[in-house]
Amino acid sequence: MTLSTADRRPHVLHRRRRTLQGAMAAVLFITVPLLAAAQPVPTMYLVGEELTYNVRFSFIDLGQIKITTVRAVTGEGYRGYFTRATIASYKSIPFISAEAIFESVVDSGSFSRTFLGRSREGDDWSFSRYTFLYDRGIGLMDIGANDSVITKRDTMALPGKVQDGLSLFFYAREYLFAGKPLSVPTIIREKKAQTTIDFRTERESVEIDAVDYPIDTQHFLGSADFVGFYGLTGSFEGWFTNDAARVPIMAKMQVFIGNVTIELMEYKRTGWTPPRGKD
């Protein structure tokens, strides 16, 4: 039997295969980090995450906001996360007395499935409960006092997938690297509104008291055409970490007393450290 040239020289083929494999490995080594930098992996949802913020007006600390990703949930045809925000003014502030608890089931696609908001401004408590039935294109709404007295029930036609006041926090994190302006329907205080965020972000280093080095962030601008809790409305801006977690580090917003700064003061997120920016 006569052997072909290839059969007589298997070491040549092996060498060529090794060369090709080495070249492919080199390409992957070079391109994978570039792809990862351009499109961060979607790991912002983490059960057990607790982010606590101080709310400041000028040099006066007004209160705290704590946002928690409580647990993963499964609904009819979807998976999501049960989230909670607690807001409370500091007792040492004589001219402000406000408290609120917002609970939202946020779909893994970062839109609202259900929302329950309980708030106190002064001495009176009120609540709003929304259930969004996207397959039917409607939202069911219960409005009431205290925790159980329903004073009004209503049905609202939905303009598509919508946000509530808490799910917006996760929506902004989800689309931080979108690279373009986005406008999303928002339901606030039983009214339809729009929230617009320009995700053509700018990279900035931000310093806060809770971290002893500058944090690498992406800065963006936005606007809300609704009036929310404590008079929140109008233009706002945010600084979120420039990494896969996209943790909100700082925000500036308008409320009824003026412009406030919301700054991260404590965080619990397993395995996460704020990315270091430029000194």
Across 145-158, average pLDDT: 86
Q: What is the pLDDT of residue 228?
A: 75
Q: What is the pLDDT of residue 230?
A: 65
Rounded Cα distance, 54 and 265, in Å: 6
Q: What is the pLDDT of residue 83?
A: 97
Q: Work out the pLDDT band at 231, boundaries 50, 70, 90.
A: low
Give the start-to-end residue ranges of the domains of the chain.
7-34, 46-268
Q: What is the mean pLDDT of the chain?
A: 84
Across 69-86, average pLDDT: 94
pTM, rounded to two decimals = 0.81
The separation between the first and the last C-alpha atoms of the chain, rounded to the nearest angstrom, is 73
Q: Do residues 52 and 64 touch, judged by C-beta distance below 8 A?
A: yes
Q: What is the pLDDT of residue 161?
A: 96
**Percent of the chain residues topping a pLDDT of 70:** 82
Residues 6 or more apart in contact with residue 124 via CB below 8 angstroms: 145
Q: What is the pLDDT of residue 147?
A: 66
| pLDDT score of 170 more than 80 | yes
| pLDDT score of 17 more than 50 | no
CATH architecture entry for 46-268: Beta Barrel (2.40)
| Lowest mean pLDDT, pick from 59-63, 174-178, 197-201 | 59-63
